[in-house]
């Protein structure tokens, strides 16, 4: 079976464009996350749309309120003002659990497999499998699918569909993904109750009526899973996908918190905006106040220079 994802059919009337920036507060904004915020802001505003801010802080082990606050301070210093209230995913755990116990319930099962037990399983398979088969070992071998374990005292897995899903990415082009073959049965809730990123993002994108998702290329492999979760949850689908090329060091390494990317310094916001727009290969804007620079950047926003690219290198990194 093959599914081609098409925009939501809830209404034949064109809905207002709604985009979002959804950082995880595991650290301060760096240049890579700033370019994502700036691109999503300028793009959705160029369409006359709404730009939401959502703090994706379900990972309580790594997220901190101080980083959430600093992210908002930095965005405001740069003139990137969001519309409406900020949503904190840590305050919405009951909503995600409601979906897991209702619409998504038929697709879930409890799992007791630890990383150690899975490593042992794969080591046993390595004795007889070919190299090609070993490459597939990251996909969960479904040891617990028929075990009927308690859903609330074990980690919870979600069965993803085993067919191709096609969708248009307006930067990366036509995409085909089989979420079962690439991701398998995903852990959507840990044993300690922590909710998986893509489950929370899928539900919130639907409930917030997000129509345009612009985010980093590193999330592209999860997109078919998100489409599947939103469909199973009977939520409005995303109309337009955009996965931005990653900002990389000159050695090709992705700029990220894990790679000790330096936090942005908003003491010179205009220069910082100019650098981010240059990285995004946008037309030059006049050096001015952040508000006027953003107004010009929105008026001339163009995705074309980014199309088909997977990385953008900065000579300053």
| pLDDT tens over the chain, length 317 residues | 555 665 554 444 578 999 999 999 999 999 999 999 999 999 999 999 999 999 999 999 999 999 999 999 999 999 999 999 999 999 999 999 999 999 999 999 999 999 999 888 888 775 655 544 554 556 899 999 999 999 999 999 999 999 999 999 999 999 999 999 999 999 999 999 999 999 999 999 999 999 999 999 999 999 999 999 999 999 999 999 999 999 986 655 666 555 557 899 999 999 999 999 999 999 999 999 999 999 999 999 999 999 999 998 765 54
- CB-based burial of residue 13 (10 Å sphere; 0-12 exposed, 13-18 middle, 19+ buried)? exposed
Q: Tokens 């044993």 correspond to what residue?
A: 191
CA 284 to CA 141: how far, in whole Å?
Answer: 51
Q: Can you give the pLDDT at residue 280? A: 97
pLDDT of 135 reads 44
Helix or strand holding residue 4 (H, E): strand 2-4
Strands 212-216 and 240-244, bridge-based pairing: parallel
Q: How many residues comprise the chain?
A: 317
- The model carries a pTM of 0.91
Question: What pLDDT sits at residue 314?
Answer: 61
Q: What's residue 71's pLDDT?
A: 98
- Cross-strand partners of 176: 166
Q: What's residue 73's pLDDT?
A: 98
DSSP 129-164: --HHHHTTTTS---TTTTS---TTTSEEEEPPPSSE
Beta-carbon contacts of 97 under 8 Å, excluding residues fewer than 6 positions away, are 189, 195
Closest to 176 (Cα-Cα) out of 168, 165, 184 = 165
pLDDT at 131: 44
Q: What is residue 132's predicted lDDT score, i.e. its pLDDT? A: 46
All domains of the chain in start order, with CATH: 16-105+199-250 (3.40.50.620)
């Amino acid at each position: 079976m093959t599914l081609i994802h098409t925009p939501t059919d809830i209404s034949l009337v064109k809905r207002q464009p709604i985009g979002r920036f959804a950082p995880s507060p595991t650290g301060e904004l760096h240049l890579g996350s700033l370019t994502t915020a700036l691109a999503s802001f300028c793009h959705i505003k160029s369409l006359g749309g709404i730009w939401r801010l959502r703090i994706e802080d379900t990972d309580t082990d790594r997220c901190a309120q101080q980083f959430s606050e600093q992210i908002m301070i930095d965005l405001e210093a740069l003139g990137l003002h969001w519309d409406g209230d900020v949503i904190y995913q840590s305050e919405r755990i009951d909503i995600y659990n409601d979906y897991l116990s209702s619409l998504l319930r038929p697709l879930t099962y409890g799992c007791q497999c630890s990383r150690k037990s899975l490593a042992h399983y794969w080591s046993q398979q390595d004795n007889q499998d070919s190299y090609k088969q070993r490459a597939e070992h990251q996909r969960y071998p479904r040891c617990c699918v028929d075990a009927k374990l308690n859903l609330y005292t074990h980690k919870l897995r979600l069965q993803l569909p085993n067919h191709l899903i096609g969708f248009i990415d307006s930067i990366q082009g036509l995409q085909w993904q089989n979420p079962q073959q690439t991701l398998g049965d995903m852990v959507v809730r840990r044993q300690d109750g922590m909710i998986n990123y893509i489950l929370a993002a899928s539900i919130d994108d639907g409930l917030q009526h997000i129509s345009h998702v612009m985010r980093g290329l590193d999330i592209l492999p999860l997109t078919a899973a998100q489409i599947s979760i939103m469909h199973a949850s009977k939520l409005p689908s995303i109309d337009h996908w955009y996965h931005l090329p990653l900002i990389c060091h000159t050695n090709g390494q992705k700029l990220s918190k894990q790679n000790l990317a330096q936090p942005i310094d908003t003491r010179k916001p205009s220069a910082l905006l100019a650098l981010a727009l240059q990285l995004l290969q946008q037309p030059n804007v006049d050096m001015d106040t952040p508000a006027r620079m953003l107004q010009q950047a929105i008026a001339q926003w163009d995705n074309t220079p980014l199309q088909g690219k997977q990385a953008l290198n900065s000579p300053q990194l």
